[in-house]
Structure 1
Amino acid sequence: MRVKQVAENLGISEHTIRYYDKAGLFPFVARDDNGYRDFSEDDLFWIEFIKCMRQTHMPVSQLKEVAELYDQGSATKSQRQAIFARHKENLLHQKALIEEGLATLENKFKILENE
């Protein structure tokens, strides 16, 4: 599958997919005889994962590290798990900050309603 088809299927711009490619996030994606990326169905799951992780502000550099580790095989499983565990902790911390901010805003709304 070509970049254009991937973009249409996943709702990601072609520019973004090419950016991810140049950033080294697709070391395991096959190329056709002309040197163009030929994305498989499995590759689409990886791109969806990238999209999700980018929405949670995982740096491209970390995603590149995960891609390179994945490309090296199952011996790197614990290293990938450690990266994901750190990101999960960051997300949980951000979630707590957001919940605190929402609670503060709710209190402010109550105060303003009584003015």
Structure 2
Amino acid sequence: MQVKKAAEQLDMSEHTLRYYDKAGLFPFVSRNQNGYRDFSEEDLYWIEFIKCMRQTHMPVSKLKEIAELYHQGSTTKQKRKEIFLDHQQNLIEQKKIIDEGLQTLEEKFKLLESE
């Protein structure tokens, strides 16, 4: 499927898909006879993963590294796992900060209600 349909299916903008492509995140996406990207169902799963990781602020450069490692084969499994573990640890730390912020706000709300 072409960019427009893939973007609609993924609830993303065409611009974002093209940006990710230019950033090197889709080295595996084939092109049709006219040179247009032709996304498969499997490609869409990868893009969903990218979308999720970007929402958690994983840098495009890390996603590109993961894509490159994946295409090098199973010998890169450990390196990919390390990248994921690092990102997971960052998310755990961010969650702790967010939870603390939410708790502080809850306390502020209680103070404001008692005034």
Q: TM-score, normalised by structure 2?
A: 0.96
Q: TM-score, normalised by structure 1?
A: 0.96
1:36 offset after TM fit, Å? 1.9
Which position in structure 2 is the counterpart of 1:25? 25
Q: Residue type matched to 2:75 in 1?
A: A
User: Which sits farther off after the overlay, 1-10 or 29-38?
Assistant: 29-38
1:18 offset after TM fit, Å? 0.3
Task: Give unpaired runs (5+ residues) of structure 1.
Answer: none
Which position in structure 1 is the counterpart of 2:8? 8
Distance in 2 separating the partners of 1:75 and 1:49: 21
Q: How does 1:26-105 map to 2 (within 5 A)?
A: 26-105=26-105
Task: Give unpaired runs (5+ residues) of structure 2.
Answer: none
1:37 offset after TM fit, Å? 1.5
1:24 offset after TM fit, Å? 0.1
User: Which sits farther off after the overlay, 33-42 or 64-73?
Assistant: 33-42
1:34 offset after TM fit, Å? 2.5
Partner SS, residue 113 of structure 1:
helix
Q: Percent identity?
A: 71
Q: Residue type matched to 1:9 in 2?
A: Q
1:104 offset after TM fit, Å? 0.7
Distance in 1 separating the partners of 2:107 and 2:96: 17
1:106 offset after TM fit, Å? 0.7
Partner SS, residue 37 of structure 2:
coil
Distance in 2 separating the partners of 1:87 and 1:59: 10
Q: Residue type matched to 1:23 in 2?
A: A
Which consecutive aligned stretches of 4+ in structure 1 deviate over 6 angstroms post-superposition? Answer: none
Q: Size of the alignment, in residue pairs?
A: 115
CA-atom RMSD in angstroms: 0.8
